[in-house]
Structure 1
Amino acid sequence: MALLVGAAAPAVAQDTLPEIVVETATPVISGDPDFTSVSTMGQSEVLAHGAASLGDTLGTQAGISQTSFSPVASRPVIRGLGGFRVRTQENGISTQDMANLGEDHAVTIDPLLAGQVEVIRGPGTLRYGSQAIGGVVSATNSRIPDQIPTNGISFASRGGFSSVNNGRDSAALLEAGGNGFAVHVDGFARRAGDYAIPGGGRQLNSGYRSDGYAFGASHIFDRGFVGIAYQHTQMTYYIPGIASAASKNHIDLWQSKWTSRGEFRIEEYGFDTVKYWFGATDYKHNEVNVIDGVNEIGSRFKNREFESRMEISHLPMNTFLGEMRGVFGTQWGNRKLSVGGIEELLAPASVRSIAAFVFEEIAMTEKLKLQASGRLDHISVEGTGAIFPASLLPPPDDPTTFNVSRVYQPASASVGLLYALPNKITARITAQHVERAPDAIELFYKGPHDTPRTFEIGDPTMTLEKANTIEVGLKRNEGEFRFEVSAYYTQFKNFIYKNFTGAKCDGTFATCGDPNGTFDQIKYSQRDARFYGAEVQAEHDIAQIWNGTWGVSGQYDFVHATFTDGSYVPKIPPHRLGAGLYYRDTTWTAAVNLLHAFAQTNLGAFETPTSGFNLLNAELSYKQKFSGGANLVPEVTVGIRGENLLNERIRLHQSYKKDEVLQPGLNIRLFASAKLN
């Protein structure tokens, strides 16, 4: 996963020290060669980072950055793509929140409870939806148990303290089972104040608090399992920025969610395994300002959503090309959303979808593999559109509204070749065509979005967004020297983006054009665009020392994105280069890493340049297993992590408030975990 700044374990998997189990990070590169680029972060590494959001947890990985709107509302940006093009999911089901429609909206996954977090890029994303052109961020945990604990019971607790914001976080998980049944219970809590910034002082209005709990149960049998879980999350988080701090702008968020998951291993009649996933959510959040000491709700966002997916894998089949393995499946979704407040910003809208997909892999020779996949979607969208003047300025003072019913039928496909080179190196080349339907927000939103201070105008006439990508890669995940290199080129047709018009607005369209307005007007627009870039990550074990091994790691990534007229796509992260040292053995892990982000001067319309910075992090942790009674083995990990040790003034170009908001200054985090299983 490229450079994990301050990671306690190497960025790339290794097999040279089988007697050392490095549990501070799940190996970055999967043990089997893969057609897709997959980055994985383990639970212990997530704990060490201590971030309250997936964006800040993953944001220093190669090819991954973050919006960093606030410590809680920070979404991953993958290869320069975010928002509706990045799917976030938990245990195979979408998070079903409203985080993708605004950089100020939180993803309802707390990293503290994740067993691991994967980032999937490339053809593998088609299994989860045509929306995920950028990639899929997938968190997994055991809320729906798929096995009975080894000794009938297991317990884990974890947490930490961060100096930069007086932050405290903790979580506890309990599982028990026997006689074919298993249960799971967990809970977490976070609290933090305004964080300190370089040069003294604090970033006002940046504190937060969040809580959540879940319980689940499964029936486990010889050939599989079936289970169900319920989870509830509640957050209150504040939004930094000049206008936001003046009004103590904050978001109150609630989500209740039911999920179910199961697996049945057939292993006959030509079928191998049947798997299913299901999720149903009731989500809402209020965007609140404090006026004269009284909370006033500016807008209210609601989302009720159902999603299910089923996959059937078949047994290996002999074909004239070679042995073929694969999976086919279906996916169904139903979503109802609205945004209300003083004005109706998004009249109730509905999105219904059904899809079919297939993935097949053929071992053509001992060294050469072929993969092909396809996906067909049928998406119907209903809502209320609006016609604005061509100038996007009054008069008239109000747009004309009308009912809209649109049907989209995206068709996506990919093909790839994987070849085993000498020295345990694998080479891959993949090509894919992906089509994405516009989201209801991109079609129908009309009005002020209070927290990011934007006046957003949707376009109900938008067509399918289409992307053609070719990617090549080299990977070596064994031996003393391990690496992964990926390079890609994507041609977008009808690329959807937030087009800043330069006009200012206040709370209504009638105010647009007022130079004293505090909202930036944007219109969801479509243009053809080109993206290309590369990611490099490498690690080399230098020598044995003390009881373990020390080595060096490095990373480099960049994205270049332009429209066909040569102008730049906005909010694209800059080039980044990093290097580090690490040590690991059975009990100790240590690392120090430096990540340099170059200045970003390739600017979209109305953007300002962003200075480069150096981010220096370091980490030290110790793990000890103790002998226990009744076959229960206690395991304790303690550690310390230093972040932004140079106390640099860091602004992230992809953040919509980067000119007003600095990233946290020097931080010392203490963390610990305990397990009993």
Structure 2
Amino acid sequence: MEFQRTPMARAIMATAAALPLAAFAQTDTQTLAPVVVHATPFSASEDSQILTPAKILTGNELRDKLGNTLGETLSHELGVSASAFGAGASRPIIRGMEGPRVKILQNGMSVSDVSSLSNDHAVAADFGTARQIEILRGPAALLYGSGAIGGLVNIVNERIPTMLLPRPTGEAEVRASSADRGKAFSFSADGAAGKIGLHLDAQTNETDDYRIPGLANPADPASASGRLPNSFTRRQNLGLGISHVDDWGHIGASIGVLDDHYGIPTDERAYIDLHKKRFDVDGLFHEPLPWLSSIKLKLGATDYRHTEKEPDGTPATDFLNRAVETRIEATHVPLAGWQGSFGLQTEYGNYSALAADTGAPNAVPKTRSTSIAGFLVEERDFGPVRVSAGARLESVKRDPDAASGFAQRSFTLASYSLGSLWQFMPGYGAGLTYSLAQRAPSTEELYSGGPHESTATFDIGDSALTKETSRNIELSLQKTEGLVRWKANLFHNQVSNFIYGRTTGVTVDEDGGADPTGEFTQRFWSQGDAVIHGAEAEISYNLRGEGWSVRGFADTSRGRLEGNGSLPLQPATRYGIDLGYRQGAWRSGLSVLHAQRQDRLASFETFATPAYTQVDANLSWKKKYGSTRLTWFALAKNLLNEDIRVSTSILRDRAPLAGRNLVLGMRVNF
């Protein structure tokens, strides 16, 4: 199957040119039921998110796209790619922004793992039983952290019940996959006893090393073929929740445990054992005061640990993060036409990366981090124009152990966002948003000073790093009603003091001494001014109704360090089409995504990723038995068995994505 490599401008122009014809073809002004975004103070629907461009994965769409990792699950969404560090660790990258610039939440609270610090670290969140996954940017992101320059992803599993159900409900699913001999089972259930809401969820997922179409390293004929060595995964999680629900609101708590064991597909053959325990409290109180419509209280406590081990099982480095986060958020009644929320958020963390045998701070010393922030997000209509504004003030401290010799650092962060949406015709809108967001350097960026087994790098931080400041302007056009809907976004992001990892090509031993045969490559955390700009476009027809549906999309972004070439790990220009057909008990779909060659490399990068075309398909059949619904489904991924290497992966030259993969499964809803 051949696809012409057209420039992104032609893809967007073709999409735009189709709009009048598609609009003319409408014979039905169908209004579809909105999907509510949880991570906003306005209970907004997905279609109203021009000021905070959003995507919400839920229902069948979420189950069809569900992968072994969060990054894989979201990698085909508009403006989203993935870090793709093998099958066990992959984090979403939004508009070329990665790591700590993309905040991961679970039920509106930080997951408090260490996935933002390095690409080999898995996202420690229970997304396998999620009810929906939300992608947000703009003013609403300021509610959750100044560092969310790229945006945020919120995983909603509703572990703490917020309503009382008349009867028990739930879902169970089993699936098996061919490329990795995978086996997965997930279960969630909700019920009530009087005014007590109850929740239970569990998941187990096991995969072997996955099949690849050719050589692991195309430049090395002696590299592995057939299957990618050390790409196995083992994952289990269990969660329990209970709450008291009444007319005044609810108050509840939950506990969750997660165990994750996965291989790192590098020459070192290291693997990671990850364990996490989490306790949450959630409360909502309606109309506690005459001038407040609600108050939300949240508390999350996390005990996280993962150990990087050598192939023989010898522990190399222990990563620990113990964190406590609190939030109080109040929504006020309309005031002079303005509605919105304000609140206070605190975070306390104790992070370290120590030698497993001696406890010495060979990678990152014990460091206490504290932050306290106040935030405000407001919205008001002025006739056909809706104005949205957000602001956040935050104080962050990094306090390393005195024995490390590093100095304490403090940062004052001020972020704000202002946007407007003009509904110039019913169902049509134009939006303009400007935001300024600041981020404090992470502990690892400041204080690293040792070997990192899984990435085979010797990381060297810079304790003098200053805060990042991002200035972003975005223009959006959108049609939100009818069978045909579309949206297009243009953005320009200028980042002062952008922090990035810069490799020198120098190999060293485990003590950092120069060694031509050393197994570690030096990586320095550095700063420079950066510019990222890009465009996104999408048009759809009848996405949620019966009969035929179609979606066409394209996205591109370019990032460069001023005076020093491209930013590292930049996404390729992509475009594609999704076709679907639903009738009665049957549902089917075909997805084609084409990514162009990505040769815009940073000065220290050497591998340009070739173009690829990924074709996926799905087919399902459902049958109702009283109040129970049984669904049989089949998913086919990478049908063309392409050698896919994504430009946003550190391992793109030695770890392609899986080859052709058939997934068969059954799901029961009751």
Does the TM-score normalized on the shorter chain lie above 0.5? yes
Say whether the 8 Å CA contact 1:489–1:531 is kept in structure 2: yes
1:659–1:19 distance in 2 versus 1, CA, 3 Å: closer
1:374–1:352 distance in 2 versus 1, CA, 3 Å: same
Corresponding residue for residue 277 of structure 1: 298
Q: 1:584: Cα distance to partner?
A: 2.4
Corresponding residue for residue 202 of structure 1: 227
Matched ranges for 1:129-528 at <5 A: 129-151=145-167, 153-199=168-214, 201-244=226-269, 249-266=270-287, 269-291=290-312, 295-318=313-336, 323-341=337-355, 343-344=360-361, 345-365=363-383, 367-383=384-400, 402-509=405-512, 511-512=513-514, 514-528=515-529
Between 1:500-509 and 1:437-446, the stretch displaced more is: 500-509
1:18–1:585 distance in 2 versus 1, CA, 3 Å: farther
Deviations 1:466-495 (A, max 9, x none): 000000101112212111111110111100
Give the count of matched residue pairs: 624
Mapped partners of 2:320, 2:299: distance in 1: 20
Aligned-residue CA RMSD in angstroms?
2.3
Give 3-state SS (helix, strand or coil) of 2:161's partner: coil
Give 3-state SS (helix, strand or coil) of 2:116's partner: helix
Corresponding residue for residue 530 of structure 1: 531
Mapped partners of 2:388, 2:428: distance in 1: 18
1:415–1:522 distance in 2 versus 1, CA, 3 Å: same
Mapped partners of 1:557, 1:158: distance in 2: 33
Corresponding residue for residue 72 of structure 2: 56
What letter matches 2:206 in structure 1?
Answer: R
Give 3-state SS (helix, strand or coil) of 1:48's partner: helix
Q: Does 1:624 align with 2:638?
A: no
Deviations 1:118-165 (A, max 9, x none): 1112222111001111111110112100011232x2232113111111
Q: 1:369: Cα distance to partner?
A: 1.1
Q: 1:19: Cα distance to partner?
A: 8.9
Identity %: 32
Give 3-state SS (helix, strand or coil) of 1:105's partner: coil
Runs of 4 or more consecutive aligned structure 1 residues displaced over 6 Å after TM superposition: 18-23
Deviations 1:7-46 (A, max 9, x none): xxxxxxx9955699999xxxx9714354101111114333
Matched ranges for 1:19-38 at <5 A: 30-38=46-54
Q: Does 1:539 align with 2:540?
A: yes
Q: 1:589: Cα distance to partner?
A: 2.1
Corresponding residue for residue 609 of structure 1: 608
1:450–1:71 distance in 2 versus 1, CA, 3 Å: same
Corresponding residue for residue 396 of structure 1: none
1:123–1:640 distance in 2 versus 1, CA, 3 Å: same
Corresponding residue for residue 582 of structure 2: 584
Corresponding residue for residue 6 of structure 2: none
Corresponding residue for residue 666 of structure 2: 672
Mapped partners of 1:150, 1:561: distance in 2: 52
Say whether the 8 Å CA contact 1:428–1:472 is kept in structure 2: yes
Say whether the 8 Å CA contact 1:638–1:673 is kept in structure 2: yes
1:414–1:65 distance in 2 versus 1, CA, 3 Å: same
> Gaps spanning 5+ residues in structure 1: where?
4-13, 387-400, 628-632
Give 3-state SS (helix, strand or coil) of 2:54's partner: strand
Q: 1:99: Cα distance to partner?
A: 0.8
Say whether the 8 Å CA contact 1:53–1:110 is kept in structure 2: no
Deviations 1:302-342 (A, max 9, x none): 00000011110111122xxxx21111111000000111115
Mapped partners of 1:308, 1:524: distance in 2: 30
Q: 1:675: Cα distance to partner?
A: 1.4
Say whether the 8 Å CA contact 2:231–2:263 is kept in structure 1: yes
Say whether the 8 Å CA contact 1:242–1:660 is kept in structure 2: no
Corresponding residue for residue 641 of structure 2: 647
Mapped partners of 1:648, 1:302: distance in 2: 38
Give 3-state SS (helix, strand or coil) of 2:64's partner: helix
Say whether the 8 Å CA contact 2:317–2:353 is kept in structure 1: yes
Q: 1:563: Cα distance to partner?
A: 1.3
Q: 1:76: Cα distance to partner?
A: 0.5
1:107–1:266 distance in 2 versus 1, CA, 3 Å: same
| TM, length-normalised to structure 2 | 0.90
1:33–1:352 distance in 2 versus 1, CA, 3 Å: closer
Give 3-state SS (helix, strand or coil) of 1:46's partner: helix
1:455–1:385 distance in 2 versus 1, CA, 3 Å: farther
Say whether the 8 Å CA contact 1:638–1:672 is kept in structure 2: yes
Say whether the 8 Å CA contact 2:139–2:388 is kept in structure 1: no
Say whether the 8 Å CA contact 1:74–1:106 is kept in structure 2: yes
Deviations 1:510-549 (A, max 9, x none): x23x22222221111110010101111111249x9xx932
What letter matches 2:240 in structure 1?
Answer: F
Mapped partners of 1:15, 1:288: distance in 2: 59
Mapped partners of 1:538, 1:92: distance in 2: 30
Corresponding residue for residue 6 of structure 1: none
Say whether the 8 Å CA contact 1:51–1:71 is kept in structure 2: no
Q: 1:290: Cα distance to partner?
A: 2.5
Deviations 1:595-632 (A, max 9, x none): 000001111022121111000011112233332xxxxx
Of 581, 596, 599 in structure 2, the residue corresponding to residue 598 of structure 1 is 596
Give 3-state SS (helix, strand or coil) of 1:354's partner: strand
Of 32, 41, 46 in structure 1, the residue corresponding to residue 57 of structure 2 is 41
Mapped partners of 1:48, 1:647: distance in 2: 19
Corresponding residue for residue 635 of structure 1: 629
Mapped partners of 1:254, 1:30: distance in 2: 34
